[in-house]
């Protein structure tokens, strides 16, 4: 039951983030450099700090994190990940969809292993796991793009009916954060080390430009 609830909450959180119309900040900008992105490929994104402050972004970007974002609690997901938002030719958001990840009895050894890895990882998230962006600087990150993702042998997610769409667009969204809940996700030692280096959490939402996605 717990896995099904978490998955449902993630689905709702993802969609609400992608259709949100609330104002986003330009203090830090996300800019996809590719004019066209291919499914199962990589895109290059610039993160541009337009301020005089040093910020850190709690974005996990590893092979495991691709799957983790579909498995974690809504609060963890909102804190640690960028959301890939997909749109049709009319720029209407398209849902993520799964036919089987709601079935608890189908959870297998691979899913349990991923959960165990996360439980271990979240206790040891350090500065090197975060994105540090000094005042006035720009950094580059590479992000995998997938319209279909196998979580385990019995569970996958994909963009709903994406094969039937004539044209697809994608963007990435960074959800806003609560400054009062940092210690719920990052250890006090890491928070202290970030302060000593002069970095603060960037807590405002932001969204990248949209680019064409080829299936």
Written as one string, the DSSP assignment of 45-114 is EEEEE-SSSEEEE----SHHHHHHTTTS-HHHHHHH-PEEEEE-TT--B--EE-SSTT-GGG--HHHHHH
In tens, the pLDDT along 99-121 reads 887 766 655 677 788 888 888 88
Of 143, 155, 159, 144, nearest to 40 (Cα)? Answer: 144
Contacts for 74 with CB less than 8 Å, ≥ 6 apart: 6, 9, 10, 12, 13
Structure tokens that stand for 175 in this block: 């959800």
pLDDT bracket for residue 23 (50, 70, 90): low
pLDDT value at position 101?
79
pLDDT value at position 26?
83
Indicate whether 168 pLDDT > 70: yes
Contacts for 144 with CB less than 8 Å, ≥ 6 apart: 40, 41, 42, 66
Q: What is the mean pLDDT of residues 19-36?
A: 81
Q: In this predicted structure, which of 9-23, 51-65, 131-145, 152-166 has the lowest mean pLDDT?
A: 9-23
pLDDT bracket for residue 24 (50, 70, 90): low
In tens, the pLDDT along 72-98 reads 888 898 899 999 999 999 999 998 988
Q: Whole-model pTM? A: 0.86
pLDDT value at position 132?
97
Instruction: Please answer whether residues 30 and 207 qualify as being in contact, where contact means their C-beta atoms are separated by less than 8 angstroms.
Output: yes
The structural domain count of the chain equals: 1
Range of the domain at 17: 2-214
CA gap 52, 200 in Å, rounded: 12
Structure tokens that stand for 182 in this block: 């940092």
Indicate whether 204 pLDDT > 50: yes
Instruction: Please answer whether residues 160 and 96 qualify as being in contact, where contact means their C-beta atoms are separated by less than 8 angstroms.
Output: yes
Say whether 138 sits in a helix, a strand or coil: strand
């Amino acid at each position: 039951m717990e896995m099904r609830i978490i998955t449902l909450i993630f689905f709702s959180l993802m969609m609400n983030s992608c259709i949100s119309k609330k104002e986003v900040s330009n203090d830090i900008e996300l800019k996809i450099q590719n004019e066209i992105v291919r499914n199962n490929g990589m895109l290059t994104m610039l993160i541009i700090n337009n301020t005089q402050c040093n910020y850190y972004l709690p974005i996990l970007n590893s092979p495991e994190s691709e799957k983790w974002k579909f498995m974690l609690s809504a609060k963890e997901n909102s804190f640690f990940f960028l959301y890939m938002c997909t749109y049709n030719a009319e720029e209407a958001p398209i849902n993520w969809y799964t036919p089987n990840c709601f079935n608890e009895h189908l959870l297998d050894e691979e899913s349990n292993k991923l959960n165990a890895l996360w439980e271990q990882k979240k206790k040891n998230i350090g500065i090197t796991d975060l994105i540090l962006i000094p005042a006035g600087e720009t950094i580059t990150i590479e992000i995998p793009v997938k319209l279909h993702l196998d979580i385990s042998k019995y569970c996958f997610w994909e963009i709903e009916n994406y094969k039937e769409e004539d044209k697809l667009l994608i963007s990435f969204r960074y959800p806003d954060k609560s400054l009062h809940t940092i210690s719920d996700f990052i250890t006090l030692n890491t928070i202290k080390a970030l302060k000593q280096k002069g970095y603060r959490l960037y807590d405002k939402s932001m969204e990248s430009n949209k680019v064409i996605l080829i299936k």
